[in-house]
Each structure stands twice: as C-alpha cells, then as structure tokens.
Chain A
C-alpha cells in the first residue's frame, strides 16, 4: 500500500518530508480514514508522514477566551475533556458520537475536518463554534476560518500532500451561550449519520443575540444555515422563534437523494426536526435550565 512510513519530530520536519516527496507523500494522523482510502486506492500516497509523535500537538487548552485543540487530539480526548465539556459542550457531544470507542481512540478531530465529508460529526460542531484552523505550509503559518477549508465532498483546501493543520481554535462559550448536537442515523451507534446538526446560540437580556446553525450532509460541504440563524437574533428564545428558524433551515437545506441514506424529501423534513430539537436544548442550556452535558 505505502512504501515509506515516517515519523517527523517537528512540524517543520513534517513539511520537509512532504516537500522531499512532492505529491507522493501525505500526512497521516489516526489513519481511520486514510488507511482505507489508500487501500482502496481512492487517496494515493507512497509515503505517509505520521504527525502523532510531534511534540506540542496534543493540547486542549484555553487562552484569552479561545480554546485551542492540537492536531493529535482524538475524538475520545475531546469527548472526555472537562474543558471542552464545560466551554464547548456541543463539540464533546459531536465527537462522542463518532464511530465506536476504538475509532474515537485513534481518529483525530483535525483529520475529521481535512477528510472533508459533509456528514462529519466533529467538523459540524466546529462550524457551529465558528472555529479556525492553523495551517502550516512552506510559507509559514496562518489561521483560516473553517468554512474556507472546504472545497467539496472529500476536498479540503489544505492539501495534505503539501501542508498541515497544526491546531484548531474557537471561542469558548460564555455565560448565556450554549450549544447542542443532534444526529439521525440508521442505527444508534457505529454509523455515519444520515443527518446531523450542531447549533450554538447566545442569550442576553431575554433575547437571542447570536446564533449559528450547521447542518450535514445537505450540501457538498457542511452547511451553515445563515438565514435561519439570523431569524433568531433579536427574538425571545421561545418555541415560535425556534420553530421558525428550524423551518427556514429546512427550506435552505438541499440534501441529495441517496439510496442508502434516504430521500431528499425525508431528510429535508428531518432538518426541521433536528434543528428544532437542537435549538430547544441549546436554549434550555443557555438559560441554565440544564447542564451543558445533560439530556433533554
């Protein structure tokens, strides 16, 4: 399958390795996507550059109201992190729903983003959290908004043959802010969702002052329902506002017909249900009616 398996000791070394094998070397993190993709020859690579032993990429920490998550952090670590649990619960929920325990022990949140599936659970929460990714490339490092990383199904604008993502960051939720994650799948676990949504909203003085709604897979990339979110802002966080936003989200979503995942009609309707449920839970949490990790 691969000819060479390398362990760089620094980000710079990783980039050098990629450069040394132009176009034929690729980053690997947990390998839960790449291994199968290479085996099935969907993603060619002769050399893989394993970033899981580079010092300094395993952090989950808060600085100045921003949470930073390193490229080695797995879904299991995100789900179990007390920091994420209290300041970004929606992400913990999302990562906790990926695959089964073995996959979560190995698969990384960053890998989930670079793999660029419109149904990825962890990535969906990052959209709702308005995350950014730090990209390390030949010319240096830069922060890129999450949406800018997506170019289509399975297509990330960061080419893992040339560059890598070193960490993610997003604002920690403040008082009056909360999120929630919902998914619908053909069985209860160990399965990609036929639909998922992550929402975050902030309530101040009895009014919704900010909202973000991310939905997948209803387009070629994770879909941010801007109109629906905008419709919430300035309103009291009541059932009517939530229902209206959910309806708008459903109207904007364009799931494709899928033999295995379900019809357009069904999934479009379900967008409304899931978004409504997620918003309702987020409102309850933001109003302190429910702990960030509690159930509805």
Chain B
C-alpha cells in the first residue's frame, strides 16, 4: 500500500514541549490549597496487624488526617480480582511490603513525611512464603486463607497430540531447568498525582496510568460511587512498560480527595517505586524438547511455576499469555504444558513489556539454541526448519493467521548479522580475532512473537473519535482525534495523528490529538499489549471514513455546516474470533494478531572475569507497516535496552520477602556505555491484512529475543549455558569453573 504520511518519520507531537521541559508530568501539577499525602507502608512481608495507633501522628501540627481502613467505603480493589485491601486494618493481614496501613495527609510534604514515622503499628509476624515452588505444596502457609486452601491461583493445562510419543521418538532430547529473575520496570517518572473534586463534583485523579478507563470502575467500587462520578486525567507519563497497568497511586488519591474534599498531592520517591510497586514474574521452568536428528521438533514437555507475589494483579492473564507462547514460533506436534501461578509474600508481579511472554521467549529460545548445539546444526537453520508460516498449527491447536513474518524477520536478521544462505543451508559468520587475548567472541540469534491486543475471547475494543473543522469551501482545516489512549512515551498520539492524516488526506500538522481525559474522550482501552496502533488505529481509520462520508453529505446538501464528528468502536473479535483455554486440553484460539522479531547479538566474554560486553546488535522487527520508522527504531532501542538489562545486569533481590535492592544505586539498568556500540534495526514489513495500513504492534516484540540472544551468544563464546540469569560476571565465571 502506498502511503503519504504513514511511513514517514514525522516529528512526535509532544517532542517540542518535552525538549523544552515544559511538558507537565504528574509531579509538575499543583493546585491551590493542596494537601500532601504519604503512605504508611507495611514493615512485614506477612503478618497480622494487631494495633494501629495514629494519635501521635494526628497530633502533629499541620496533619489534617490519618486515613485508615475504616475510612474506606469498600476496602478492596484489584485489576482482575479484588483481592487487595486499599488499607490494611487492625486484625487484617499484610501480604507483602507494598501493603498500605494508613495514609497521612498534611499541609506540607515535610509534615506528612514526619507524621508517617509517628504512626505506630504492631504486628504479629506470620511465616513468610518466599518460594513459589514451596508455596504450591499442600500444607504450605496460605497467603490468602480467605480464598481457598491453596496458593495456586491458576493452573493451565495443555495436552496436544501424543506428547509421550513425541519425546520418546525423538533422536535428541534437551532438558533444562530455568529461573528467570524478578525485575523492576524502572519507569523514570516516579508515581505521582493529584486527587480533587472537580466542578461537577466528580472525584478526579490527575496521574499517570496505562488504562485510565479501567481505573475508574476500581475507584468507583472502592468509593461506592457510580462510575460517572469518577474521572481520570492522564497528562504526560514518564514511561510505564506495564508497570502502570495496576493502580499504585490513583485509588489512594481518589480516596483522599473523596474524604477530605480538597486537592491532595502525592509523589513517590524512588525507593517507594522500587519496593512497593509490582515487578515482572519470575518463572521457574522445567523444559524438555525433543527433535529428530535432522532438526524437526517432535514434542515438548514444560512445567512453569510463575510467582504471583502477594496479590493477583494481572497474573492470571499474564500466565495465560506466557503459556500460550511456551513453545515459541515453532510447530510442535506434541506437547504437554502445565503452568501454575502461585501466591507468595514476595513483591506483587504484574504486567511488564511482553506480558509473560518475555520469560517464555527466554526459555523456548534457549531450548532451540541448545538443540542446535546438540545436533551440531546451525542455529538459524534449525529455527528455519521449524518456524511458523501462515496457517501453521500453534501450541494450542489454533491456526496462525495470515501475516506471519517470523521467517522473514529471521532471514533478514541473519543476513544482516553476517550469516550466508547457500541452498537452504545457513553458514555463520567468522567472528575474527577478539579485542584482547582473554576475550572470547560469540554470536547468537533468537526469535520471538507476541500477540497484539487482549486474548482468549476478551472483547478487546477501542473507541476513537474524530472531529473535522471545515473551511468555507468544505476542505478540512483542522482535525482533532479524540481518544483516552495514554501516551506513555511510545508515541501513540503521533501514530494516530499520522493515520488520521493519511485516512483524511490532510497534512500531519493539521491533526491534533486530545488529552487523555475520561470525562471528554472515549475509552480506547489500555496502553498495553502493543495494541493501540492495531486496534485504535483500526477504530480511527473507520471513524475517519465515517467522518468523510458525513462531510460529503453535508457538502452535497449544502448545509453550510463546518463541523463534522464521528466516532467508531472497533472490536478485535469482529475480525478474528479468539477463545479461552479448554480446561482439559488447553486447546483454544488465543490471539487475534501477532508481531514478530528476530535479533542477533555479538558479544565478547572475558574468559577470566566472566564479564560480557555486547558489541554489536541486529534487531529485525516485523511491524507489518512502520507507521513512523524513527519511532519504531526508538522502540527497538528501548526494547533492546530492557532486554540487555534483563540478560546481564538487572535483578530485584529479596530475602524472605524483604527487598534488598531499594534504590537505583543497587538496581542496575544499562547506561549508554553498556549498550552495544553498533545497533542496527532491520524493519520487516509483512503486512497484517487486518491491521490499519497493514500495521501490527511493536512495543513488546522488541524486547523478547534480546536476553536469549545475548545469553546464547555467551555460550557461543565460552561454552556455558546460563539458565538462571541475569548472566552476571560471577554466574558466568562459576559456570566456566564447573566446566
């Protein structure tokens, strides 16, 4: 499809205000007469609260109120199930360090900070459940005794083909045990916001969020108010990466505003973000893969134990998504998969870039790398033999819809990375001499795929509005796109503006995008699941078509009107049906649409210290259609950054439920010096016929293959498999010692 604005790297809508520093993030707002809130956090990962004494805190001059459990109209919330108390009261349990006991509201931030130290809380400690493998055993202490007699909140079973036979008949079986780490999103803007009562008496929260429309029912439930009495405004957001899908602050602000009827501001410091907000799920995985000697996969047997932490958050859908990709983009005729999501008293785990599939990508790609090694086969060639194509049958018995771009992504990545193809055989590049005698070079490839939009029969929909202002001759003068899509930085507003400009044949500069305010903009769903370009793009393109039709009518009828508005609700299910897991066999139609990626890492490992440096990196991303190529490159750079940190440096360490990495001085995201010196993005455009202009999603796919590519490259360099990562220098060194 030839396009005019879509496909151009137009400047981002918000770039100018961001480089000026004038763009306001939640902490940058202040209101007349505002109060300041601070949370009194749990001091124990698992304990019963026996006494809360707020008298000293309330006596401090400047303290307006100390809010406790009895002040909360309906003291529960949760993004999927309401298993979380807003405030833990006397007699109730804390289940992790992120539980709140009280909220101190004061005239100044300093006073609030002082007063929170004066709240006296007594606890009766309970046994701490800190390993999900222990927690799932019968008789383990229960994290939620009120929710049945097990800590397991979801068990997914997949039984495909004859899995026993699949493995029994294999010529080679690769068997591994993996542990993926707890990691933190580290969005740079700490949670912050203001709650107040607006002119229409609505409880209003101005704060960062990924899905404003979904916070509203949770807040309304908590306050026992109708939903139209609650309003969310989302200004600029300093990153999210899944970490703002749950409410960390929104409900607290709403509660303060509701109770005090004054504006209340709260800003987290970094250690609160580190230790009191959700993380990515660790997976503990037993994985067996069988293949014939010529490299055809015959079967897999997989057990995944995913750690939920203290509350369910989105763990169930995360594990469902992750499990659906447990075998990767490969045709596996026989499979047995068991996946468990298990409560513990460690940090709550939640959505994070990849939504459970990032961990899956690590395990299935490590298996493929090991298999290639065991078979003495080139790793590109082995993958090519098994990769999906249009119509392939996936792990849950579903047919892969048209637009499978993974082969093309792998082919282009491999060629860019120096592989040669000769008659269907793939030949790896010669890496040349290392930069120093004690350095060992290594190169490896990995693939990944991820759904776009929500899955398993969820009615994923997005509503987008468009308004046209016409000039006297009936030409479109200005366009406003109306959406509550939150721009977490990825540029959804820019991409939508480009698509509107394209669909309406106007200039990009004529289009503006409204602010995400639930009071005025339609619900476009969450900024997650790499979904907006696909689903909101589809809604927008259709709204534009409607608007054009209306305009033509007006012109025909010569009414002289100069304003046209149209809105479209697009449902994912209208183009492809998805279905939930069958409880016994796991067969289902998991997702509507997919995006694909293949990446190659060239590393050097220090054979004496175990340190790994990633020298060069190639990322082939199949995005269907790059709406804005530079934004795609930005997503890829960021995805690789996060994947590199995941692979090598990032680890959120807890001991018995207590966080040991509490600051950015002990949780290490990559600096510019840690990034590969050469980074090449190869944009692959295998169109998705259901996507707007052929586009798929981008955001999450960029991070999936990174860690397995790097860690497989470490093996290529020094011959050790790092199955529990991050692959710190010490872990690599230890593995080399054992060899």
Contacts and interface: CB of A to CB of B under 8 A. Distances in A.
Q: Say if the two chains contact directly (CB < 8 Å).
A: yes
Interface of A: 100, 184, 186-192, 259-260, 262-263, 266, 269-270, 273, 296
B609 A259 contact: no
Q: How large is the interface on B (under 10, 10 to 19, 20 to 34, 35 or more residues)?
A: 20 to 34
B670 interface: yes
Contacts of A259: 653, 655, 660
Nearest to A184: B609
A111 B436 CA distance: 36
Nearest to B733: A266
A187 B671 contact: yes
Nearest to A296: B436
A188 B669 CA distance: 11
A191 to B, nearest CB: 6
Contacts of A192: 665
Interface of B: 436, 608-609, 611, 613, 649, 653, 655, 660-661, 665-666, 668, 670-671, 673-674, 728-730, 733-734
A147 to B, nearest CB: 27
Contacts of A186: 649, 668, 728-729
A273 B609 contact: yes
A266 B671 contact: no
Nearest to B611: A184
21 contacts: A100-B671, A184-B611, A184-B729, A186-B649, A186-B729, A187-B668, A187-B670, A187-B671, A188-B613, A188-B671, A188-B673, A189-B671, A189-B674, A190-B671, A259-B660, A260-B660, A260-B661, A263-B730, A270-B609, A273-B609, A296-B436
A189 B673 CA distance: 7
A3 to B, nearest CB: 14
A188 B674 contact: yes
Nearest to B436: A296
A163 to B, nearest CB: 29
4 closest Cβ contacts across the A-B interface? A188-B673, A266-B730, A273-B608, A189-B673
Contacts of A266: 730, 733-734
Contacts of B670: 187
Contacts of B608: 273
Nearest to B726: A186
A184 B436 CA distance: 17
Most buried by B among A184, A188, A262: A188
A266 B611 CA distance: 12
A210 B2 CA distance: 74
Secondary structure of the B contact surface, majority rule: loop
A188 B649 CA distance: 10
A79 to B, nearest CB: 16
Contacts of B661: 260
A35 to B, nearest CB: 14
A122 B258 CA distance: 54
Nearest to A259: B660
Most interface-central of A100, A192, A266 (chain B CB within 10 A): A266
Contacts of B673: 187-189
Given A263-B730, A266-B730, 18 more contacts: A186-B649, A186-B668, A187-B649, A187-B668, A187-B674, A188-B613, A189-B671, A189-B673, A259-B655, A260-B653, A260-B660, A260-B666, A262-B728, A266-B733, A266-B734, A269-B733, A273-B609, A296-B436
Nearest to B669: A187
Contacts of B611: 184
B346 to A, nearest CB: 15
Nearest to A273: B608
Contacts of B666: 260
Nearest to B729: A184
A188 B660 CA distance: 21
Contacts of A273: 608-609
A260 B613 CA distance: 20
Contacts of A296: 436
Contacts of A260: 653, 660-661, 666
Nearest to B649: A187
A180 to B, nearest CB: 15
A184 B733 CA distance: 13
Contacts of B436: 296
- Which of B613, B649, B730, B734 has the most A CB atoms < 10 Å from its CB? B730
Nearest to A263: B730
B668 A262 contact: no
B262 to A, nearest CB: 28
Contacts of A270: 609
A217 to B, nearest CB: 15
A262 B729 CA distance: 9
A260 B673 CA distance: 21
B617 to A, nearest CB: 16
Nearest to B645: A187
Contacts of B660: 259-260
Nearest to B661: A260
Contacts of A184: 609, 611, 729
Contacts of B674: 187-189
A197 to B, nearest CB: 13
Contacts of A189: 671, 673-674
A100 B671 CA distance: 10
B45 to A, nearest CB: 17
A184 B666 CA distance: 15
A24 B142 CA distance: 50
Contacts of B733: 266, 269
Nearest to A276: B608
B604 to A, nearest CB: 13
Nearest to A262: B730
A266 B736 CA distance: 12
Nearest to A186: B668
Contacts of B728: 186, 262
A152 to B, nearest CB: 21
Contacts of B609: 184, 270, 273
A296 B606 CA distance: 14
Given A184-B611, A260-B660, A260-B661, A191 B668 contact: yes
B188 to A, nearest CB: 14
Contacts of B729: 184, 186
Nearest to A260: B666
Contacts of B653: 259-260
A189 B728 CA distance: 15
A190 B608 CA distance: 23
B646 to A, nearest CB: 13
Nearest to B608: A273
B517 to A, nearest CB: 37
A115 to B, nearest CB: 14
A83 B22 CA distance: 43
B369 to A, nearest CB: 25
Instruction: Pick from A187, A259, A263 the residue with the most CB of B within 10 Å.
Output: A187
Nearest to B610: A266
Nearest to B648: A187
B226 to A, nearest CB: 44
A189 B730 CA distance: 18
Contacts of B655: 259
Contacts of A262: 728, 730
A59 to B, nearest CB: 32
B437 to A, nearest CB: 10
Contacts of B730: 262-263, 266
Contacts of B671: 100, 187-190
A112 to B, nearest CB: 16
A109 B671 CA distance: 24
A82 to B, nearest CB: 25
A191 B648 CA distance: 15
A93 to B, nearest CB: 16
Contacts of A188: 613, 671, 673-674
A262 to B, nearest CB: 5
A189 B674 CA distance: 8
Contacts of A190: 671
A207 to B, nearest CB: 26
A186 B669 CA distance: 10
A260 B654 CA distance: 11
A12 to B, nearest CB: 36
